[in-house]
Structure 1
Amino acid sequence: MESFGLLNWTILIVYLIGNLAMGSLLSTKVNSAEDYYLGNKSIPWWAIGLSVMATYVSAMSFLGGPAWSYSNGLGVMMIQINYPLVVFLVITLFLPFFYNSGVASIYEYQEQRFGKKARGVMSIIFMMTQTLSSAAVLYATALVLSFITGVDVITAILVITLIALIYTLMGGITAVIWTDVLQAVILLVGAGIIFYALLDRMPESLVSTLGELKAQGKMDIMNWSFDTHVEATVWSGVIAMVLYHVTVYGANQMVVQRALAAKNIGDAKKSFLFMGFAAFFIYFLFLFMGVLFYSYYGGREFENSNTIVLQFAADYGLPGLLGIVAAAVVAASMSSLDSALNSLATVTTLDFYEKYFMKDASSAHYLKASRWFTVGWAVLIIVPAILFAQSEGSVLQLLTKVGSYFVGAKLSMYALGFFSRHTSERGLLIGVAVGFVAVWYAATQTEIAWPWFCAIGAVVNIPVAIVVSLLLDGRQTELSPYTIQGQKIMFRDQNLAAKDQGWYLIPGKVDRISWLLVVFFLATLAFLYLLTVLI
């Protein structure tokens, strides 16, 4: 690759310095452990929404999205079609429980509903999965720096970790959110420029290009097959991946912790609604670019498909473009890494250190401990990141596969907590163990596609947990106040307000605007269908 050049270096360095400066500026707002976890609850909902989007929608999209569709076609869009339904369920069922409780660690719900062991298991699952997914994010960032500068990938991993660590340590969740806003803006600007440049350089018109791509099978979006061996179908996207993403967004400390920093329940829900409407357009943009790249490069094979966007930016030759794109990809990945470091430190401090090792210490002590845990997690994430560097497939696909092994257990633990009256802690944990075995069997002994692993884990886990609970502990005479029905009864008996500024506080109650998510979901399906048949 040609020399990165002074202008590109200037753009990238200014961006990195800007993140450090923002972390330093916001460090003055962190005076306690609570500030480190939740800020001062003054962050506007749109900033939280952009932060949520930057963390997950953009984490691997700039690199892995085009790489995925370049290889498999636009049909992989079905894996990402479900976000409106996901957000509908999350803001209706999950957010009210977490926000009303006033907790910083969302896994405290498991202790309130079942017991300490359930909380510990959920926290450990989160830490395992988040470490692996953050390592994939870190690898993607290092890949960019290595590709454009020639610096060794391992060196790049160490450098980018240090930068994200420094501003996260200084500013806590407030710095994480506001740097994510900056990163989201840079990401969208970079994506827009690349998309425009790609359309500008296409040798034929867009209509002709799409016709050729359809003839090559790259525009076959709506696969209605019931074959569970096929990765991307309508059913895997609408059923299996709804269950997967509900757990990723509703039972994930890294995402929900932002909503807990909102001013009120309405702002918390609006931040998620932002993502519910925006995710489709962003994922479609990156995946659509992938099939256009396939046409532009004539389907040529790349040594590492995750570098396609960077290669195009270098080939295009616009001064400063490679610097903007490099900053955009670094922004996309750092927005996930900083969030992971903060949330991992939060869970470690609240769910283990404070609970079992150092009770009743001062807030200043827990703040210091949280910062040390942040450093520790940064070191731990580096190890699998180096291992991911050996992968040549799409990092977006890789990241999603890693999570699919664990989300069934998380989904089941919350579904049973919300809706099951008779599930006990012992039955729950046995169900989780059996569910893990079922997912392992499906993954290693069958040809079932990974999107269905979450559903398999839940389908096995839930009935086993209920049956074992009844056998070991019998029928429960009292309804837990931490079930959906229990919450409704509690609000009624204690004469509590059902709404706050027009937004439901009661879990299970649907806000009127949430129905627009369902309408929007149906509209996106119709759009993809028409795109397929009218080309």
Structure 2
Amino acid sequence: MSTLDWIVLFWTLISIAIYGIYKTRGKKNLDSYLRGKNSMNWWTIGLSIMATQASAITFLSTPGQAYEDGMRFIQFYFGLPLAMIIISVSFIPIYYKLKVYTAYEYLENRFDLKTRTLTALLFITQRGLAAGITIYAPAIILSTLLGWNLTWTNIFIGVLVILYTVSGGTEAVSITQKQQMAVMMGGMILAGIIVIQLLPISFQDALHVAGKMEKLNAVSFEFDLADRYNVWSGMTAAVFLFLSYFGSDQSQVGRYLSGQTLTQSRMGLIMNGFLKIPMQFVILFIGVMVFVFYQFIQPPVIFNQVQTDKLRQSEYASEYEGVEQKYKASFESGKLAYEEMLTAIDAGEEEKADLVKSQIKEIKAEQGLIREEAKALILKNDPTAETRDTDYIFMRFVMDYLPKGVVGLLFAVIFCAAMSSSSSELNALGSTSTIDLYKRSIKKDASDHHYLMSSKFFTAFWGLGAILFATYASLFENLIQAINLLGSLFYGTILGVFIVGFFMKFVKGRAVFIAALLSQALILLIHFKNGIGILGFHWDIGFLWYNAVGCIAVMLFGAILQPIVGKKI
């Protein structure tokens, strides 16, 4: 990167962190530290909620996913507005009535201490691991692209977040997230405009290419339990995920519990519900335009340049050169085919255009095989090398083709996204550890100042733990899928406990506690056994459905167990 890019990157990150510390300086009590003095208006809450969800994974993985799979991922968010309405009507009023610090306080009031503790522990397990991935996801990509040491990249991100989150608590998180969200969306919109300007064909022709190559197929009504992204999973399974994430995950609950009033919190959630889909559409569409760009401007065989540079300096350099020559020839054939297809479309010759499309698909399959040859050489040279390069696509494009200054801004987007999500997670882990475990079950009668300091300690503790986890993590198939999978393993059970609490008044503590344990065991069995046989049928279930299965299992087990195990103890 240029000197200007480095200045833009570090000035953006450090100024936001300093601003958060400065604005929230001074003595605090536990209430102001965990609930931000209930001073947040609806648009601050909405931006904070969006910034918490829009992690670096969103900006690294989503364009790459669109590059390979088109716009299908947008269906994942179709159920979000519905989930926001349900939470606004059912969840938030109860939290405000009880004046809770965390969502899990409600569960002791409704059931008992062991149910509250179990649910808090499930959250801490899931969110503690997720916090590590939230730091690791950008660090592994950015350290590779910038040539930084991975461990020091993890530490840089983690320490910045720890400093202002420990210093200012919930208020610091919300205040900094406004600036981070402005950087994120401003940077991505600017990148989208530049991508379109850089296209070697007209925007209309780009849409024709994307449409013909099925990259704009945003909606699928095909019902398939193994398919992660279709209308049915988006409007059913994903709704369960969103209900649990926004309704019972403290990293999100803490955002709207800081609202000035119940109405302000509701409006913030609704804002998120109706702005998140357009935001994801923009990010996915940028990925599609990058795909079109690389159909006319030759892309690298492998987008992870560090791995290919190592290969060029190895004993397999000549073999890799041969692979590159084959890829170049295939690319030129594909480029001519695209031009022929566009000519046919302009002439209104749809049959010819479809025929050329079939030829292009054959060329793309050939290019896929050539890429596999390159990956095989990378593994020969280094058996521990990471060959999946989906998450490198967008930032490789940024570094190769975007102007100076904008490159630094786009890297700042990734870092800001990592910081915004991580700060909410650490804040939530600190509050839950203090309120639901330490204050409730370990040290019950300490002073307000003691609990304030313990909350800061736990926040720092989880931050250091996240850095440690990130240092020893490894890449998943796709980072955005990894984070959704991790949530899906636990969210269904957590949501089920809350749903039983809200709507199944006859089910008491002992029954729901056992039901939660059974449900969690079921989800883990389904996942690690890759489907289970039931009555002769083998079920292969996409991970988004874990949320629905887990929630419904808690409800069913609870209803069945209540007459057997008796009333609440």
Same fold (TM over 0.5): yes
**Pair 1:473-2:566 in alignment:** yes
Partner Cα distance (1:330, 1:5) in 2: 18
**Pair 1:170-2:167 in alignment:** yes
Identity of aligned residues (%): 27
Which residue number in structure 2 is paired with residue 260 of structure 1?
Answer: 257
**Pair 1:94-2:94 in alignment:** no
Which residue number in structure 1 is paired with residue 186 of structure 2?
Answer: 189
CA contact (8 A) 1:30 1:39 kept: no
**Pair 1:405-2:402 in alignment:** no
CA contact (8 A) 1:173 1:258 kept: yes
Which residue number in structure 2 is paired with residue 395 of structure 1?
Answer: 479
Which residue number in structure 2 is paired with residue 380 of structure 1?
Answer: 465
Partner Cα distance (1:165, 1:326) in 2: 20
Which residue number in structure 2 is paired with residue 320 of structure 1?
Answer: 405
Which residue number in structure 2 is paired with residue 527 of structure 1?
Answer: none
Partner Cα distance (1:59, 1:324) in 2: 14
Partner Cα distance (2:55, 2:191) in 1: 15
**Pair 1:338-2:335 in alignment:** no
Partner Cα distance (1:387, 1:211) in 2: 44
Task: State how 1:301-320 maps to structure 2 within 5 Å.
Answer: 301-303=302-304, 304-320=389-405
| 1:351 aligned to which of 436, 444, 466 | 436
Which residue number in structure 1 is paired with residue 514 of structure 2?
Answer: 430
Q: Secondary structure at the match of 1:39?
A: helix
CA contact (8 A) 2:199 2:293 kept: yes
**Pair 1:14-2:98 in alignment:** no
Task: State how 1:27-46 maps to structure 2 within 5 Å.
Answer: 27-46=24-43
Letter in structure 2 aligned against 1:415: I
CA contact (8 A) 1:69 1:287 kept: yes
Q: CA deviation at 1:147?
A: 3.5
Which residue number in structure 2 is paired with residue 70 of structure 1?
Answer: 67
Q: Secondary structure at the match of 1:449?
A: coil
Deviation per CA, 1:373-400: give whole Å up to 9, x if none.
1111012112332343x21532111111
The 10-residue stretch of structure 1 (195-204 or 17-26) with the greater mean CA deviation from structure 2 = 17-26
Partner Cα distance (1:367, 1:406) in 2: 29
Letter in structure 1 aligned against 2:38: K
Q: CA deviation at 1:218?
A: 2.1
Q: CA deviation at 1:112?
A: 0.5
Which residue number in structure 2 is paired with residue 26 of structure 1?
Answer: 23
Deviation per CA, 1:72-107: give whole Å up to 9, x if none.
221121112221111111111111111121111110
Task: State how 1:263-278 maps to structure 2 within 5 Å.
Answer: 263-278=260-275
CA shift in 2, pair 1:97/1:309, >3 Å: same
Letter in structure 1 aligned against 2:470: A
Q: CA deviation at 1:148?
A: 4.0
Which residue number in structure 1 is paired with residue 525 of structure 2?
Answer: 441
Q: CA deviation at 1:453?
A: 0.9
Q: CA deviation at 1:144?
A: 4.8
**Pair 1:201-2:294 in alignment:** no
Which residue number in structure 2 is paired with residue 141 of structure 1?
Answer: 138
Partner Cα distance (2:183, 2:489) in 1: 32
Letter in structure 2 aligned against 1:318: P
Which residue number in structure 2 is paired with residue 128 of structure 1?
Answer: 125
Normalised by the size of structure 1, how large is the TM-score? 0.85
Partner Cα distance (2:218, 2:24) in 1: 47
Letter in structure 2 aligned against 1:363: D
Q: CA deviation at 1:30?
A: 4.3
Partner Cα distance (1:8, 1:205) in 2: 29
The RMSD of aligned alpha carbons is 1.7
Partner Cα distance (1:453, 1:105) in 2: 24
Q: CA deviation at 1:19?
A: 2.4
CA contact (8 A) 2:206 2:292 kept: yes
Deviation per CA, 1:92-151: give whole Å up to 9, x if none.
111111112111111001101000011001111111111122212101231354134211
Q: Secondary structure at the match of 2:38?
A: coil
Letter in structure 2 aligned against 1:246: L
Normalised by the size of structure 2, how large is the TM-score? 0.80
Deviation per CA, 1:322-360: give whole Å up to 9, x if none.
110011111111001111111111111111111122222
Which residue number in structure 1 is paired with residue 337 of structure 2?
Answer: none
Which residue number in structure 1 is paired with residue 49 of structure 2?
Answer: 52
Q: Secondary structure at the match of 1:336?
A: helix
CA shift in 2, pair 1:193/1:460, >3 Å: same
CA contact (8 A) 1:57 1:279 kept: no
**Pair 1:450-2:527 in alignment:** no
Structure 2: stretches of 5+ with no match in the other structure: 305-388, 532-539
Which residue number in structure 2 is paired with residue 524 of structure 1?
Answer: none
Partner Cα distance (1:52, 1:101) in 2: 22
Which residue number in structure 2 is paired with residue 231 of structure 1?
Answer: 228
The 10-residue stretch of structure 1 (72-81 or 211-220) with the greater mean CA deviation from structure 2 = 211-220
CA shift in 2, pair 1:392/1:109, >3 Å: closer
Number of residue pairs the alignment of both structures matches = 471
CA shift in 2, pair 1:372/1:58, >3 Å: closer
Q: Secondary structure at the match of 2:17?
A: helix
CA shift in 2, pair 1:38/1:131, >3 Å: same
Q: Secondary structure at the match of 2:499?
A: helix
Partner Cα distance (1:30, 1:98) in 2: 26
CA contact (8 A) 1:65 1:290 kept: yes
CA contact (8 A) 2:194 2:402 kept: no
Q: Secondary structure at the match of 1:96?
A: helix
Which residue number in structure 2 is paired with residue 106 of structure 1?
Answer: 103
Q: CA deviation at 1:223?
A: 1.6
| 2:210 aligned to which of 186, 207, 213 | 213
Structure 1: stretches of 5+ with no match in the other structure: 477-535
Letter in structure 2 aligned against 1:12: L
CA contact (8 A) 1:306 1:393 kept: no
Partner Cα distance (2:177, 2:262) in 1: 21
